[in-house]
Amino acid sequence: MNPVRNTKNSKKENKISNGVKFILSPELGRLAKWLRILGFDAAYFSQTNFPSLLIQALRDNRIILTRNSHFIDKARAAKCVQIKNDEVNQQLRQVLKDLNIRPDPEKMFSRCIICNTQLCEIEKQQVKDKVPEYVFKTQEEFFTCPSCRRIYWPGTHWGNVNKTLKEISDGIYC
């Protein structure tokens, strides 16, 4: 039986972070990966063709994250955040703080960090020849990306997430 959940709090979190989508300019690849780990829909624009980036942002209702002040000046039609720091933890902290959003715990680890696609659970037997033997023996839960076919399991790509999350969230939500 499911324990009674604190629906009031979970509704509040959903309201804050649901529907927030990003598009990141080429210099913010690491930040894109971290936003995906936290469950955000974070498209990464690898070219320097700013008009295309802007069109995609407006079409998909995505917030532009960039370090490029030149982009900011031209992006008046779209919502845009200029990232000020070089260090990815500080960048994440700025995004969460400036937009007053927080990750939804139920959505963390639900996206492929490489291509931003939603992951699907996959039966353990189906990954037998696709993951290292040690991993197969020690892990029970596996996920796969329907686009790039990458396999995920708790504790690898997601290793230091909780530590990093604590570092970035300290002082934001008190």
Residue ranges in contact with Zn ion by CB under 5 A:
112, 114-115, 117, 145, 147-148
**3-state SS track over 93-144:** HHHHHHCCCCCCCCCCCCECCCCCCECEEECHHHHCCCCCHHHHHHCCCEEE
Taking the complex as a whole, how short is the minimal distance between the CB of residue 102 and Zn ion, in angstroms? 25
Please report how close the Cβ of residue 117 comes to Zn ion at its closest, in angstroms: 5
Residue closer to Zn ion, measured from CB, 48 or 147: 147
Measured from the CB of residue 151, what is the shortest distance to Zn ion in angstroms? 10
Indicate the residue among 20 and 151 with the shorter CB distance to Zn ion: 151
Instruction: Kindly tell me which of 117 and 164 has the beta carbon lying closer to Zn ion.
Output: 117
- Beta-carbon neighbour count of residue 12 at 10 Å? 12
d(CA 83, CA 35): 14
In what helix (H) or strand (E) does residue 69 lie, and over which residues does it extend?
A: helix 69-74
Q: Is the Cβ of residue 115 or residue 122 nearer to Zn ion in the bound state? A: 115
Q: Which residues contact 46 (CB under 8 A, 6 or more apart)?
A: 26, 29
Nearest CB to Zn ion, comparing residues 50 and 158: 158
The least CB distance from residue 141 to Zn ion, in Å, is 18
Output b/e per residue, 133-168; b: 16+ Cβ within 10 A: eeebeebeebbbbeeeebbbbeeebeeebeebbeeb
Q: Which of 39, 2, 1 is nearest to 21 (CA)?
A: 39
Q: Least distance in Å: CB of 118 to Zn ion?
A: 10
